[in-house]
Structure 1
Amino acid sequence: MASSTSIMGTYSGITMDTIDQLIQAESGKLTQYTNQQTELTNEKNAWKDINTRLDTLYKKFDVLKEPGTFDSKTVSNSNENALKVTAGTDAFEGTYSVTVKRLATASQLTSGTIGSTTDALSLSGKLTFTTVNTEDSTDSKNFFIDVEDGDSLKGIVTKINETAKENKSGLQASIIDNRLVLTDSDMGARTIEIKDETQGQDGVSFTSKLGLEDVQTTLGQSAMLSVNGIEIERNSNTITDVVEGLTFELTGVIENNKISTIKIAEDTEKTTKAIQEFVDQYNSVMSFIDKQLDVGDPSAEGNSTGALTGDSSLMKLQSQLRSLMTSSAKDSSQPIKTLSDLGIEVDRYGSASLDTAKLKEALSEDSNDVQAFFFREESTLVTNPDGIETREVQQVGLSQQMTTFINEYIGEKTGIIITKSETIDNMMKNLDEQITKFNERLESKRERYITQFTALDVAMMEAESQLNYLMSQVGSTTQQA
């Protein structure tokens, strides 16, 4: 008997194309499944984007919790060639007249010349190094190294540096033009001494081999400057203890006692930038939410809607963010009550705008009030059941409110968005299983159709064969008659 693939359709006219059309007609449900998959993918991607935008907004408000955002200072300097000035958050506004008269230097000891720095000196014993402040003999440091027979000058320098570093002895050794050079890492007038307890087989010591009986010694000196007419000396070119919150880095001497004018002022630009960035990011979040909730034009053919139209969690997020932006401070004692006091207005669509002139005016009046509106810590006395009073510290302000609320959505373990994402993943997994089962049913039905229609063709073929046989028998009988 011929195979089913060659017989099917021979008599009935029902071919594989016919079966494909039947299967296609029954696969409408599959289109619904794939459409659902697309919708769920769009929902997940939308929530992922919202999570990213909210995380960025969270970080913008975190910046507004930092004191440095409000307390930073600007520094103007009329002569940066002689000194550089940096201001910490605790620096006071003001103007300072500074003259750099002398830079601090370090003491240095230089030995005589030696022929080879890598040949063994054939010495053994101990070298002790001592540095002493010439103005305060109690300020001294010392350490020693053991010298062995095979040590070269290069090896001894290595030992000096390793031991000095380990003991924090403030001495650095180097080789310059085949000479041993010892430099005190502490600046100012300090003596450098070497106690030599070494000797070679020829009776010559380390001191003799390097010509240390007549060393060249350069005594260091302290830095000298005047600030607002006050003379100051320090054993460093980086000075942090002269003006509260200011660091002076001396880089050159000002000729003819020329004065550098240093002005310290509030850095309102840094604060303004931080607040503008939070406003911009808030608008980005709200604009994206609007697009995801957009219902389009329901009366239009082929109407396009947002990926999260009608989602109650997203509508709550939109409403709560807008509410927090327009809320008033609960503490009536705070000078700044709302964002509008800082020049931030929210229109009826939820979009925010910043009047930088009004913000800078508020900052110039008292930047601490602006900071307190966004973030501050308040302590209250709490009495436990045993009657013991303890002080409880609470973090309050708009930034704290915002980050707490946003975390409800972007929290890594229990956040609304991660929960939504997990739910969507489960739904997509379930859809995948349904699609697999549906395809299996379609394939079974295809096989059943093939079997049925093949059987039909076989039956028709057999019927035709029987008819032909009967016809041949009738013809034969007629001829015999």
Structure 2
Amino acid sequence: MASSINFLGSYSGIDSATVDSLIEAESGKLVQYTNKQASLTSEKNAWKDINTRLNSLYEKLGSLQEDAAFQSRTVTSSDTSKLTISVKTDAQLGNYSVQVNRLATATTMTSGTIPSASGKTVKEALGLDGTFSITNQDYDLTKPEENAFSIDIKAEDSLKDIVGKINEQTKVSGVQAKIIDQKIILTDTKMGDRTFTVGGDLAGKLGLDSTAEGEIKPTVVAGHSAELVVDGITIERNTNNIEDVIEGVTLTLKGISETEKPMTVTVAEDTDKTIKAIQSVVDQYNSVLSFVGDQLDVGDPSAESNKTGVLVGDSTLVRLETGLRSLMTANVNNGNTSIKNMSDLGITVDRDGKATLDSAKLKEALAKDPTAVKKLFFSSEKTEKIDEEETTVATEKENGMTQKMRSLINSYITDKTGIIATKSDTYDQQIKDINTSIASFNERLEKKKANYIAMFTRLDTAMMQAESQMSYLASQFSSSSNNK
């Protein structure tokens, strides 16, 4: 099959370059489409960035609605090698004198040396066959099925196997086991002056029967409670982690105090943590307002190459900006007269919307009345109203700055139904429509190009035929003239 020959422009001078120029001249609409597509994509991405910044502000505002943000505590111990402290947010403030006289210990029972054939390994079978049992003072005679601490030993069991079987029963027996120098050491899992006994036909052979005759006998060391003196009051507890002496404070005893040298525990307000949380909100607020301002910036309209923000003139974004700035400066109806707005805490907003925190003034307000500071950020007012059915309905009105600002932000960032999500869907649809228009336009251009090529090819063909006919006629005239 012969291939087609393209001789476009051979006679007319209208070649493929000319056709491309004609198509390019008609593709101005395509440029408008792609420019609009790029503009919509930039706007969508700008809103996406705004959503991320708003979400971060929403989370930081939420931290100011927690008691921990305004009731933080710092705690110090004058000797952490002997006493460490942890506190809850409601810990009592003050200085406490603590003298540790005795640490709590657990009762232990150490067997005599248990010989194996070689006497060198705890993994060697002992050749013992029988049972032994462990009974601690919590044993309930009325519920023997829940206190089955009997342990079966087989001839092939080694010392390590036996200790493993004991520890498998620890949850019910309350006794742990370990091996040191071919000896079993049993330890009560609870501290204090407690007892446990070992019985059964193998107790003596394992060196755990204090009544057995012979050389393998256990050594029992009774446990005892911890003793400490807090502000002159002597206290005993069966643990070294004491949570019920100072409200909200856990004392962890690690060593005995020097005689007549009590340690000092200080519990104080941690205002630095609160200030840091509020500063974090201020910084994120500024980040949001700065970015929003950039998107709405009209630039310099008089400049020849003026550059504006991506979302300049967007009324939805203007409302967001206005709402955030208004909430940052508005008075809060929280029933407190001493702290009514953010400026009372040292937070001021300039004409551009940028907020600044005076940490010294905030620290002073926190020291004076931390509850009032919290109420500025988070407070609710319960009210009642009568509905259409004349039923009393209880409602709760949120008055705090963080509550109102989070409510505003939530209307923008809520998934699927939020303002930004709705805008994003609209952008997607518009971009999709433009893509469809671009595809259709390109198809039309391709068809028009094909038509141009076909038309100019026909012109070249006609011109070629005309030239051929002219040559034929000329040859005929020349032949006729020569014959005369």
**TM-score (norm. length: structure 1):** 0.91
SS of equivalent to 2:224: coil
Distance 1:386 1:309, change over 3 A: closer
Task: Give, as a single letter, the amino acid of the residue that structure 1 aligns with 2:218.
Answer: V
Q: 1:154 to 1:387 in 2, by over 3 A?
A: farther
| Secondary structure of 1:194 counterpart | strand
Comparing 154-163 with 389-398, greater Cα deviation is found at 389-398
Q: CA deviation at 1:216?
A: 1.0
User: Do residues 184 (structure 1) and 188 (structure 2) align?
Assistant: yes
Decide whether the 8 Å contact of 1:174 with 1:181 is kept in 2.
Answer: yes
The correspondence for 2:417, drawn from 400, 414, 417, is 414
Q: Is the 8 A contact 1:130 1:143 kept in 2?
A: no
Distance (whole Å) between structure 2 residues aligned to residue 386 and residue 458 of structure 1: 90
Distance 1:394 1:131 in 2: 58
Which of 418, 443, 462 is matched with 1:440 structurally?
443
- Does residue 237 (structure 1) correspond to residue 243 (structure 2)? The answer is no
Per-residue deviation, residues 267-295 of structure 1 (Å, max 9, x unmatched) = 11111111111111111100000000011
3-state SS of 1:368 partner: helix
Residue range with higher mean Cα deviation, 150-159 or 80-89 = 150-159
Which residue number in structure 2 is paired with residue 57 of structure 1?
57
Check if 1:114 corresponds to 2:119.
Answer: no
Partner of 1:147: 152
Which residue, out of 266, 285, 288, partners 1:285?
288
Letter in structure 2 aligned against 1:172: Q
The separation in 1 between residues aligned to 2:483 and 2:2, in whole angstroms, is 36
In 2 relative to 1, CA 257–4 (structure 1 residues): closer, same or farther, beyond 3 Å?
Answer: same
2:327 equivalent to 1:321? no
Shift of 1:159: 2.5
Whole-angstrom distance in 2 between the partners of 1:92 and 1:39: 59
Identity %: 51
- Amino acid in the other structure paired with 2:192: G
Q: Does 1:370 align with 2:373?
A: yes
Which position in structure 2 is the counterpart of 1:476? 479
Report the alpha carbon displacement of residue 130 of structure 1 after superposing the two structures with TM: 1.9
Instruction: State the SS of the aligned residue for 2:307.
Output: coil
TM-superposed CA distance for 1:30, in Å, is 1.3
- What is the aligned partner in structure 2 of residue 400 from structure 1? 403
Report the CA distance shift for 1:129/1:387 in structure 2 as closer, same or farther (over 3 A).
Answer: farther
Structure 2 distance, partners of 1:118, 1:315, is 78
Cα distance in 2 for residues equivalent to 1:408 and 1:211: 71
TM-fit CA distance, 1:127 = 2.9
TM-aligned CA distance change 1:255 to 1:352, over 3 Å: same
**Residue type of the alignment partner of 2:56:** T
- Alpha-carbon separation, structure 2, partners of 1:389 and 1:157: 68
2:25 matched to which residue of 1?
A: 25
Whether 1:307 aligns to 2:289 is no
Paired residue type of 1:189 = D
Whichever structure has more strand as a proportion of its residues is 1
Q: 1:37 to 1:176 in 2, by over 3 A?
A: same
Q: Could you tell me which residue of structure 2 aligns to residue 193 of structure 1?
A: 197
CA distance in 1, matches of 2:390, 2:224: 63
One-letter identity of the residue aligned with 2:377: F
TM-superposed CA distance for 1:211, in Å, is 5.6
Which residue type is aligned with residue 196 of structure 2?
Answer: I
Name 2:272's counterpart in structure 1. 269
Aligned to 1:160: 166
Query: Secondary structure, in 3 states, of the residue corresponding to 1:297?
Result: coil
Shift of 1:125: 4.9
CA–CA separation in structure 1 for the residues paired with 2:79 and 2:408: 49
CA contact (8 A) 1:73 1:87 kept: yes
Compute the RMSD of aligned alpha carbons: 2.5
1:114 is displaced (CA, Å) by 2.2
* Aligned residue pairs, count: 468
Alignment check: 8 A CA contact 1:123 1:206 kept:
no
- Asked if the contact 2:334–2:379 (Cα under 8 Å) also holds between the matched residues in 1, the reply is no
SS in 2 for 1:190: coil
Partner Cα distance (2:395, 2:480) in 1: 119
186, 204, 207: which one aligns with 1:207: 204
* Amino acid in structure 1 at the alignment position of 2:81: N
Q: Does the Cα contact within 8 Å between 2:198 and 2:208 map onto a contact in 1?
A: no
Task: Between 21-30 and 394-403, report the one with greater CA deviation.
Answer: 394-403
How far did 1:316 drift? 0.3
Q: 1:429 to 1:266 in 2, by over 3 A?
A: same
Residues 70 and 374 (structure 1), Cα distance of their counterparts in 2 relative to 1, 3 Å cut: same
1:247 is aligned to: 250
C-alpha contact 2:111 2:206 (8 A) present in aligned 1: no
Alpha carbons of structure 1 residues 191 and 401: separation in structure 2 relative to 1, 3 Å: same
Name 2:48's counterpart in structure 1.
48
Query: What are structure 2's unaligned runs of at least 5 residues?
Result: 117-121
Change (3 A) 1:325 1:211: closer
Deviations 1:181-218 (A, max 9, x none): 1111111121121121x4xxxxxx34224463320111
Counterpart of 1:455 in structure 2 is 458
Matches of 1:94 and 1:309 in 2, distance apart? 56
- Answer yes or no: is the 8 Å Cα contact 1:334–1:369 preserved in 2: no
Residues 344 and 352, structure 1, Cα contact 8 Å, conserved in 2: yes
Deviations 1:220-253 (A, max 9, x none): 1211111111111111111000011111011111
Compute the displacement of 1:92 (Å): 1.8
- Provide the TM-score with structure 2 as the length reference: 0.91
TM-superposed CA distance for 1:146, in Å, is 3.8
CA distance in 2, matches of 1:177, 1:345: 71
For structure 1, the 5+ residue unaligned runs are 199-204
Separation (CA, whole Å) in 2 of partners of 1:245 and 1:413: 43
Instruction: Go from structure 1 to structure 2 and tell me whether the alpha carbon gap of 1:388 and 1:191 turns closer, same or farther (over 3 Å shift).
Output: farther
Hey, what's the Cα distance between the residues in 1 that align with 2:413 and 2:100? 54
- Which whole-Å CA distance do the structure 1 matches of 2:390 and 2:11 have between them? 101
Would the alpha carbon gap of residues 89 and 129 (structure 1) be closer, same or farther in structure 2, given more than 3 Å must change? same
Q: Which stretch shifts more, 401-410 or 118-127?
A: 118-127
